[in-house]
Amino acid sequence: MIWNPNKECMGREQMRELQGKRLHKVVEYVYHHVPFYRHKLQEMDLSPDDIRTIDDIVKLPYTTKKDLRDNYPFGLQAAPPSEIIRIHASSGTTGNPTIVGYTRKDIGVWSECMARCLTAYGVGRDDTFSVSYGYGLFTGGLGAHNGVEMVGAAVVPASTGNTEKHARLIRDLGITGIACTPSYALYLAETMDRLGISKDEIKLRVGAFGAEPWTENMRKEIQDRLGLKGFNLYGLSEIMGPSVSYECEEQHGSHINEDHFFPEIIDPVTLEPLPAGQTGELVFTTLTKEGMPVLRYRTRDLCSILPGECPCGRTNVRMSAIQGRTDDMLIIRGINVFPSQVESVVLTMKEFAPLYMLIVDRVNNLDTLMVQVELRPDFFNATLDTPAAIEELEQRFAAKLRSVLSIGAKVQIKAPGTIERSQGKSTHVIDKRQLK
């Protein structure tokens, strides 16, 4: 089934025409409402009238995560505060999160895009669908939620945590679909095994998995253990949230909702656009967003646009699976984590040397994060001479980390001189997770 054949199966020329019109409109809109973009365009001697077709997009400046950080909290917001009806926040590279405000129309577009994804997965009004992304500042929970309501399925806002209760609800309510991170799906499968809930007792048939990279092997394992078909769901809060792209029944790449989010692939070094089929950095321009539109936002995700048509009948372009990052961002339990965020917290603690190591692992299908820090000999004093005092220091640090990272981390305090000093390019991360 296709939710909106008008848009999802639109002729290519027609689509490009629509994208061109919308691009002109959004450039004009940000030119008049976002000083950041007005200055950038003026510096480049560009006016909105120079942007007429979608091919003109290459004239526009890029937007980076740093731009979002520098304009914290509302510098890139185009709509007046009275029009904003929801605000989400995602990880920034340092202390400040990235703030994204949505107008009523934005939430409508988001729900529509999410409805397209769910319909492609085969979810409809007869389904009972559990949303197991975190509800809160993270866009996953509420983003998926609105789409499930729009397609008319019964939404179960399970969120994350309390997995045992959730496993029982899946069985007892006959839940047929679930949206969560792929690693949470595996954790859920494990929890069901532990509770003695067998695959035959549950009715799950569709999984919408995203917010972290996953592999075909993981897909196979999740499908085998939960007895469902797993589909990729891609998104990022800077652009919208989940629903930027989605797999159809062909499961060969994810269709981009390109009437709303225009994709480009660029060489991350030269910043030159790359043709379909070549891997590079994924860049999005929001074509219809009112709250916080962005021009050519560099996602730092590496992938390619797949050439050719999809047998499913949809004409919107497909992107490959994400093959990596151009920065050091980690995705831990679906949450974006930058080593620089940890650094910003370490630097506030006078007891620790300005050194740290992140050790990421996956234990029983759940990501774990350990942060190692080192005591500074000159700040070690008599108030720290008991295990209780060291533990208190650990907890104080862990609480600060949690508030900045939005996920819990185990803290390990090390003796001076034990964290490896880097030669040249510093390595702050040991990722032991094997994604095969």
Partner 1 sequence: MTIRQLSIFIENQSGTLQKVLELVKQSRIQIIACTIADTAEYGIFRIICSEPDRACKELKEAGVAVAISEVFAVELDNQPGGAADVVGYFSQAGIGITYMYAFLLEGRGIMIFKPARAVEAEEVIRTNKLRCLSEQDLPVNA
Task: Give the binding site for partner 1 (CB under 8 A).
Answer: 375-378, 380-382, 384-387, 390-391, 412-418
User: Nearest approach, Cβ of 431 to partner 1 (angstroms)?
Assistant: 21
Both structure tokens of 199: 């695959």
DSSP assignment letter at 93: S
Q: Which segments of 406-427 does DSSP mark as H helices, in order? A: none
**Which is nearer to partner 1, 14 or 412 (by Cβ)?**
412
**Which is nearer to partner 1, 252 or 376 (by Cβ)?**
376
**Which is nearer to partner 1, 412 or 422 (by Cβ)?**
412
Alpha-carbon gap, residue 163 to 353, rounded angstroms: 38
- Work out whether strand 128-131 and strand 177-180 pair parallel, antiparallel, or are unpaired: parallel
**Which is nearer to partner 1, 39 or 396 (by Cβ)?**
396
Both structure tokens of 163: 């997995």
- What residues contact 28, with CB distance under 8 A and at least 6 apart? 48
User: Nearest approach, Cβ of 373 to partner 1 (angstroms)?
Assistant: 12
**Which is nearer to partner 1, 415 or 430 (by Cβ)?**
415
- What residues contact 421, with CB distance under 8 A and at least 6 apart? 355
User: Nearest approach, Cβ of 351 to partner 1 (angstroms)?
Assistant: 10
**Which is nearer to partner 1, 236 or 393 (by Cβ)?**
393
**Which is nearer to partner 1, 198 or 412 (by Cβ)?**
412
User: Nearest approach, Cβ of 386 to partner 1 (angstroms)?
Assistant: 6
Alpha-carbon gap, residue 159 to 165, rounded angstroms: 11
User: Nearest approach, Cβ of 349 to partner 1 (angstroms)?
Assistant: 14
CB 156 within 8 A of CB 184: no
Q: What share of the chain is helix, strand, coil (3-state, %, to 5)?
A: 35, 25, 40
Dihedral of alpha carbons 92, 94, 97, 100, sign? negative
User: Nearest approach, Cβ of 380 to partner 1 (angstroms)?
Assistant: 4
Alpha-carbon gap, residue 411 to 358, rounded angstroms: 10
Alpha-carbon gap, residue 246 to 254, rounded angstroms: 5
Alpha-carbon gap, residue 332 to 363, rounded angstroms: 12
Question: 258-294 burial string, b = 16+ CB within 10 Å, else e?
Answer: bbbbbbbbbebeeeeebeeeeebbbbbbbbbbbbbbb
Alpha-carbon gap, residue 9 to 227, rounded angstroms: 30
CB 301 within 8 A of CB 328: no
Residue reference for tokens 């992304």: 133
Q: Which segments of 227-369 does DSSP mark as H helices, in order? A: 339-346
User: Nearest approach, Cβ of 353 to partner 1 (angstroms)?
Assistant: 10
Query: Quick check: helix, strand or coil at residue 224?
Result: helix
**Which is nearer to partner 1, 282 or 355 (by Cβ)?**
355
User: Nearest approach, Cβ of 358 to partner 1 (angstroms)?
Assistant: 17
**Which is nearer to partner 1, 385 or 420 (by Cβ)?**
385
User: Nearest approach, Cβ of 397 to partner 1 (angstroms)?
Assistant: 14
* Short-list 375, 239, 220, CA closest to 300: 239
**Which is nearer to partner 1, 276 or 415 (by Cβ)?**
415
User: Nearest approach, Cβ of 294 to partner 1 (angstroms)?
Assistant: 44
CB 187 within 8 A of CB 365: yes
User: Nearest approach, Cβ of 396 to partner 1 (angstroms)?
Assistant: 16
Alpha-carbon gap, residue 109 to 152, rounded angstroms: 16
**Which is nearer to partner 1, 269 or 388 (by Cβ)?**
388
